[in-house]
Amino acid sequence: MAAEKVNNFVWLIGGEAGYGILTAGEIFARACMHAGLHVFTNTEYPSLIRGGHNTFMVRASDQEINAHGEKIDALIALNKETIERHAHELSTGGGIIFDPEVCGEVSAKAKLYPVPFTKILADIGAERIMLNTIALGASAALLELDFSYLEKAIAKTFGKKAAVVKQNIVAAQAGYSYIKNNFPEKLDISIKPIKSAPQHILVTGNDALALGAVAAGCKFAAIYPMTPTSQVLHRLAAWQQKHNIVVMQPEDEIAGINAAIGASFAGVRSLTATSGGGFSLMAEALGMAGMTETPLVVIWGQRPGPSTGLPTRTAQGDLQFALHASQGEFPRIVLAPGDIDECFHAAHEAFNLAERWQLPVIILVDKHVCECYKSTTPFDTRNLKIDRGQFANAGSGEFPRYKITENGVSPRALPGQPGGIFRAVSDEHDEYGYLTEEPTTCKAMNDKRMRKLEYIARELPEPVLYGPAKAGVTIIGWGSTKGSVLDALLLLQAKGIAANFLQVYNIWPFHAAAVGRVIDQAKAVICLEQNATGQLASLIREQTGKAVDSLLKYDGRQWTPEQVASAVENRVKGV
Amino acid sequence: MTMALETKTNPTWCHGCGNYGILGALKGAINELGLAPHNVLIVAGVGCHGHEPQWVNTYGFQTIHGRTLPLAQAAKLANHELTVIAVAGDGDCLDEGMSHFIHACRRNIDMTLLVHNNGVFGLTTGQTSPTSGKGFVSKSTPFGSPEQPVNALALALEAGASFVGRGFAGDPKHLQELVVKAIKHRGFSLVEIFQPCVVWNKVNTYDFWRQNTYKLEGAGHNSSSREAAWRKSHEKEPWPLGVLYQTTTQMFTDHLPQIAKQTLVKQPIGKIDIKPLLEEYS
């Protein structure tokens, strides 16, 4: 057994939609996590409820990993298509678990583990939906993972449904025994549980965003379902009674954002979430939040467009839209978390920023970070602070809600508060919320609002440079490509290329000076994105006057670390 | 008393605009109910009615065209101790905001909607509206509107509204009585108001409505009967005024134990423990 393959592998299960691929993947990832490994998952599926080709990849390692992988060590084929599509992705020494009755004869150059799933199902009298669980049992046996880890993960996933847990354990045990009894020769990969490993949680970006919102005291969410952020709605809906949150599914995204603005105006921390299509409907109201200086948090999960595009795939094609959406000019903040932990903290921070600066805050994520699971340290909430911004004391007479101040922020009053009566108006208005078209006041109010950006830029941290300070090439990126780029830095190092990575997290207001400095000091700069036009590169050029080279991918699939390393290597070598 | 509701500015509506009657009835109703102005929120859309919050000294929010209802409903959910009144136009509410209108009726959140129905677009200087009669001649329909007008009250009844009424801006006293009943109603209350536009609608004038409406009070109408209300909602020439329908039914908020004890806005957020939630992910 090759030593490097202990606790370091990629497992992928594939099959039609409707056969519990996602559940199986989640259980397997959880079992690996319980065994003390770091896991990162990637799921690919078409926009269908039944049929199509679904995969769930689990990459596991004894080191922290930030992205999915490319070469598969264990391929679990619930149908023939999985073998046809993925056999060529197998690593040397990799193996395939499959049902010969379903997949027929397999000629792939790989270790083959035919398991008669269909027959086992009949033997144990299980439903066809249990097929995935048999495959899980077989996987555990093949990777020499003690069955108890799988049993615990199954129990955790199905929770209170005792009968379901029992059925699944029976099915998993059957798959496990079949491999144990029939295949003395195992794969070159194995799991050796690390008992001393710290306890982790297995979360997606959506989970982290929802948890961050709850921790921030979000009390109202109006979310119209849309991939890839529907899970934020599901999570908050499930927790609403425990945490006293009102979660409504509005009639459309327009109602969603207007409701979030209404609840925020009335004084509670409010949220809406959507994707680019839903946001297109929200654009007008975003400007109203800007004009009326109402705090607002929008979670925006990108997927490939234009139009309906690729509903269940990933992209970073909405950056310029997020920066410019809605007519006229008003301040906004755009945060682009790059991983699970940043999703949690961005969601928490967004509410502070929205209330402190009284403006809309967009959390720009994408399908990849929204739906990928990563094992991580449970989020530490001890140092999180709630900053609700400035509120007015009870006064008398007319209340200057839009009082002109140096940093543009005026104390708020909330409906119900005596002495604070004012009118929020989507028209231009004076300090008291009375309509005005008087040119001096109009300019002063516009200046007041826009001044916030200067002060925000001073407060928000500058982008972080990962890797060696001096490098042959500097990669610049934003959002979920962070994971693949970080893992690619190690691959590049192995190829003898010293690379570092500048992550633009606070994407608006933009840290032009800091980014410009990094560009000036770099030997070569490549801006890596998941879009066709290099939208961050455009922003960098606009804000710094510096042109940077781009590496772009826009096929709906996330850059893998291997793809990043190879593309950067080729670019550096001038291939 | 009414003075307390005055603001520093005066209405900019045309002389004779039906909106004056509505504004008077609205302020009168707030006074009659003895509501503290700081506990009242008036949400408006865009159109001639849209500036109404400028001239009532309560909390106000003038939103964008068509979006009064989502914003108003959510404000009520955030702080259900407020009296929330949405004012909207016919274009605002029944064109651009039609979907919100239907969903607000079926959601049944405790608030009041006053639809200022003048049958024409006023602020954009005279185009046809969703309530303009078929054949209505306007700048956008010089050969007459080819579309059937929207029947707001019938739509509301069908969508499950728990209070459906109609008033006339030319009879502010009757309108005020109606608005008082609507505000007092527990649930979503709709009052459609015939509002003469003296500039752009030469058909539905004050005289037209005086001659073509009658009051349901004393006319033997049973406002607790949905069937009777349905028939009344389809009556025209003359059109009935008053409460067509009122019922007590469960509200959206009756299903929200999370705000049963305290409004959302009063709930502290300083010390939220998410550890039990994190456990779900272990």
Contact A270 B63 (CB under 8 A): no
What residues in B contact A378, CB-CB < 8 Å? 275, 278, 281-282
Query: Quick check: B49 contacting A, CB < 8 Å?
Result: no
Tokens of A55: 């995969």
Residues B93-105 have pLDDT tens digits of 999 999 999 999 9
Residue the block writes with tokens 């299960």:
A13
Q: What is the CATH number of domain A203-376?
A: 3.40.50.970
Average pLDDT over residues A495-515: 98
Tell the burial category of B137 from Cβ atoms under 10 Å away from its Cβ (0-12, 13-18, 19+). Answer: middle
Residue A518 C-alpha from the chain's centroid: 26
Point out the residue among A241, A292, A420 whose CB comes nearest to the CB of B258: A241
- Alpha carbons within 13 angstroms on the beta-carbon side of residue A178 total 27
Residues A276-331 have pLDDT tens digits of 999 999 999 999 999 999 999 999 999 999 999 999 999 999 999 999 999 999 99
pLDDT exceeds 60 at position A4: no
DSSP string, A96-145: EEE-HHHH-----SSEEEE--HHHHHHHHT--GGGHHHHHHHHHHHHTT-
Confidence label for A8 from pLDDT (cuts 50, 70 and 90): very high
pLDDT exceeds 90 at position A50: no
Instruction: State whether ipTM is beyond 0.95.
Output: yes
Point out the residue among B54, B73, B275 whose CB comes nearest to the CB of A423: B54
Point out the residue among B57, B99, B269 whose CB comes nearest to the CB of A269: B269
Q: Distance, in angstroms, between B147 CA and closest chain A CA? A: 25
Query: Quick check: B37 contacting A, CB < 8 Å?
Result: yes
SS (H, E, C) A466-510: ECCCCCCEEEEECCCHHHHHHHHHHHHHHCCCCEEEEECCEEECC
Residue A43 C-alpha from the chain's centroid: 12
Average pLDDT over residues A424-451: 98
Domain that holds residue B84: 2-279
Stated pTM of the model: 0.97
Are the beta carbons of A532 and A552 closer than 8 angstroms? yes
Confidence label for A188 from pLDDT (cuts 50, 70 and 90): confident
CA distances to A337, A522, A528 from A468, in Å: 22, 11, 18
What residues in A contact B53, CB-CB < 8 Å? 423, 425
Number of domains in chain B: 1
Name the CATH superfamily for A3-197. Pyruvate-ferredoxin oxidoreductase, PFOR, domain III (3.40.920.10)
Provide the CATH number for the domain around residue B145: 3.40.50.970
**CB proximity under 8 Å: B 205-234 to A:** none
Query: Quick check: A454 contacting B, CB < 8 Å?
Result: no
pLDDT exceeds 90 at position B4: no
**CB proximity under 8 Å: A 434-453 to B:** 434-435
Query: Quick check: A262 contacting B, CB < 8 Å?
Result: yes
Confidence label for B3 from pLDDT (cuts 50, 70 and 90): low
Residues B185-197 have pLDDT tens digits of 999 999 999 999 9
CA distances to A225, A305, A318 from A311, in Å: 12, 8, 14
Which residues of chain A are in CATH 3.40.50.920 domains?
464-572
CA distances to B137, B143, B234 from B134, in Å: 9, 11, 16
pLDDT of residue A332: 98
pLDDT of residue A116: 96
Residues A340-355 have pLDDT tens digits of 999 999 999 999 999 9
**CB proximity under 8 Å: A 277-296 to B:** 284-285, 288, 292
What residues in A contact B41, CB-CB < 8 Å? 266, 415
What residues in B contact A215, CB-CB < 8 Å? 272, 274
Between A175-189, A425-439, A536-550, the lowest mean confidence (pLDDT) is in: A175-189
Are the beta carbons of A519 and A463 closer than 8 angstroms? no
Residues B30-78 have pLDDT tens digits of 999 999 999 999 999 999 999 999 999 999 999 999 999 999 999 999 9
Which residue, among A109, A80, A106, has the nearest Cα to A92 in the 3D structure?
A: A109
Helix (H) or strand (E) holding A90: strand A90-98
Average pLDDT over residues B157-166: 98
Rounded to whole angstroms, the Cα distance separating A214 from A389 reads: 18
Residues A74-115 have pLDDT tens digits of 999 999 999 999 999 999 999 999 999 999 999 888 999 999
What residues in B contact A248, CB-CB < 8 Å? 74, 77
Which residue, among A218, A198, A199, has the nearest Cα to A209 in the 3D structure?
A: A218
pLDDT exceeds 50 at position A2: no
Residues A377-403 have pLDDT tens digits of 999 999 999 999 999 987 777 899 999
Contact residues for A233 (Cβ-Cβ < 8 A; gap 6+):
A221, A223, A225, A247, A249, A273
Tell the burial category of A320 from Cβ atoms under 10 Å away from its Cβ (0-12, 13-18, 19+). Answer: middle
pLDDT of residue A393: 87
Between A157-161, A229-233, A553-557, the lowest mean confidence (pLDDT) is in: A157-161
Residues in chain A: 575
What residues in B contact A435, CB-CB < 8 Å? 9, 51, 54
The β-bridge relationship of strands A38-44 and A51-61 is: antiparallel
Higher pLDDT, A561 or A186: A561
pLDDT exceeds 70 at position A64: yes
The β-bridge relationship of strands B120-121 and B188-194 is: unpaired
Residue type at A9 in one-letter notation:
F
Rounded to whole angstroms, the Cα distance separating B209 from A249 reads: 40
Tokens of A159: 């929770």
Contact A216 B51 (CB under 8 A): no
Which residues of chain A are in CATH 3.40.50.970 domains?
203-376
Mutual orientation of helices A131-142 and A21-34 as an angle, nearest 10°? 30
Average pLDDT over residues A483-495: 97
Rounded to whole angstroms, the Cα distance separating A278 from A256 reads: 10
3-state secondary structure of A548: coil
Between A180-189, A422-431, A543-552, B211-220, the lowest mean confidence (pLDDT) is in: A180-189
**CB proximity under 8 Å: B 88-147 to A:** 99-100, 102-103
What residues in A contact B61, CB-CB < 8 Å? 262, 265, 292, 423-425
Are the beta carbons of B193 and B115 closer than 8 angstroms? yes
- Alpha carbons within 13 angstroms on the beta-carbon side of residue A491 total 21
Rounded to whole angstroms, the Cα distance separating A363 from A195 reads: 37
Report chain B's mean pLDDT, rounded to a whole number.
96
pLDDT exceeds 50 at position B2: no
Contact residues for A287 (Cβ-Cβ < 8 A; gap 6+):
A326, A327, A328, A330, A426
**CB proximity under 8 Å: B 59-88 to A:** 59-64, 67, 69-79, 81-82
pLDDT exceeds 60 at position B183: yes
Phi, psi of A401 (to 5 degrees): -60, -30
pLDDT exceeds 80 at position A575: no
- CB A523: neighbour CB atoms within 10 A? 11
Mutual orientation of helices A131-142 and A117-124 as an angle, nearest 10°? 110
Confidence label for A3 from pLDDT (cuts 50, 70 and 90): very low
Are the beta carbons of A14 and A86 closer than 8 angstroms? yes
DSSP assignment letter at B255: G
Contact residues for A105 (Cβ-Cβ < 8 A; gap 6+):
none
> A232-235: long-range contacts at Cβ-Cβ below 8 A with a sequence spacing of 24 or more?
A232/A206, A232/A273, A232/A299, A233/A273, A235/A206, A235/A207, A235/A210, A235/A211
Burial code of A431-447, b = ≥16 C-beta within 10 A, e = fewer?
A: bbbbbbeeeebeeebee
Query: Quick check: B161 contacting A, CB < 8 Å?
Result: no
* Percentage, residues of chain A above pLDDT 90: 93
The β-bridge relationship of strands A525-529 and A473-477 is: parallel
Domain A464-572 = CATH 1.10.10.60? no
Which residue, among A263, A424, A294, has the nearest Cα to B76 in the 3D structure?
A: A263
Average pLDDT over residues B126-151: 96
pLDDT exceeds 80 at position A1: no
Helix (H) or strand (E) holding A452: helix A439-459
**CB proximity under 8 Å: A 105-134 to B:** none
